[in-house]
Amino acid sequence: MTVRVRIAPSPTGNLHIGTARTAVFNWLYAHRHGGQFILRIEDTDVERSKAEYTQNILDGLKWLGLNWDEGPFAQSDRLELYRQGIQKLLDNKLAYRCYTSSVELDELRATQEARGAAPRYDNRHRNLTPEQEAEFVAAGRQPVIRFKIDDQREISWIDAVRGKVSWQGSDLGGDMVIARAAQDGAGQNSVGQPLYNLAVVIDDIDMKITQVIRGEDHIANTAKQILLYEGLGVTIPEFSHTPLILSPAGKKLSKRDGVTSIWDFKDMGYVAGALTNYMTLLGWSAPDAQEIFSLDEAAAQFSFDRVNKAGAKFDWDKLNWVNSQYLHKMTPEELLPELIPFWEAAGYKVDADRSWLLRLATLIGPSLETLKGGFEERTGLTTQGGVEISRTFFTANPTLGEEATAQLGQDGVKDILTSLQTALAEMSEIDEDGAKGLLDRVTKERGVKKGVVMRSLRAALTGEVNGPDLIQSLILLHQRNLALPRLQAALAV
Partner RNA sequence: GCCCCCAUCGUCUAGAGGCCUAGGACACCUCGUUUUCACUGAGGCAACAGGGAUUCGAAUUCCCUUGGGGGUACCA
**Distance, CA of 109 to CA of 119 (rounded, Å):** 5
Cβ–Cβ < 8 Å for 69, 103? no
Shortest distance in whole angstroms from residue 104 CB to RNA: 8
- Nearer to RNA by C-beta: 163 or 447? 163
CA distance 29 to 4: 9
For residue 250, state whether it binds RNA (rule: CB under 7 A): yes
Nearest Cα residue to 417 out of 487, 492, 489, 493? 487
Instruction: Spell out, one character per residue from 152 to 181, where the chain touches RNA: x when CB under 7 A holds, - when not.
Output: ----------xx-xxxx--x-x---x--xx
Out of 74, 79, 81, 105, point to the residue binding RNA (CB under 7 A).
105
- Judged by CB under 7 A, the residue of 59, 264, 291, 297 near RNA is 291
Q: Can residue 86 be called a binding residue for RNA (CB under 7 A)?
A: no
If one asks whether residue 384 binds RNA (CB under 7 A), the answer comes out as: yes
**255 noted as active-site residue:** yes
Closer CB to RNA, 3 or 165, in the complex: 165
CA dist 112 and 106 (Å) reads 10
Question: Toward RNA, which CB reaches closer, 187 or 347?
Answer: 187
Interface positions, 325-364, toward RNA (CB under 7 A)? 325, 328
Q: How far is the CB of 351 from RNA (least distance, A)?
A: 26
Span from 59-67, 85-93, 243-251, 482-490 in contact with RNA (CB under 7 A):
243-251
What secondary structure, in 3-state letters, does 331-374 show?
Answer: CHHHHHHHHHHHHHHCCCCCCCCHHHHHHHHHHHHHHCCECCCE
Does 33 sit near RNA (CB under 7 A)? no
Q: Which of residues 193-222 bind RNA (CB under 7 A)?
A: 193, 195-197, 216-221
Nearer to RNA, 18 or 237 (CB): 18
When binding is defined by CB under 7 A, the residue of 97, 455, 478, 486 that contacts RNA is 455
Give the Cα separation of 224 and 172 in Å (integer).
Answer: 7
User: Of the listed pieces 29-37, 57-65, 129-137, 277-285, which binds RNA according to CB under 7 A?
Assistant: 277-285
Q: Of the residues 62, 255, 309, 349, which is catalytic? A: 255
Rounded CA-CA distance 43/181 in Å is 17
How far apart CA 67 and CA 446 sit, in angstroms, is 63
Options 144, 299, 335, 482; binder of RNA; rule CB under 7 A: 144
The reply to whether 466 sits near RNA by the rule CB under 7 A is: yes
Give the residues across from 156 on adjacent strands.
Answer: 166
Write b or e for each residue in 441-463: b if 16 or more Cβ atoms lie within 10 A of its Cβ, otherwise e: ebbeebebeeebbbbbbbbbbbb
Per-residue CA distances from 179 to 46, 49, 213, 226 (Å): 13, 17, 24, 17
Catalytic sites, residue numbers? 255
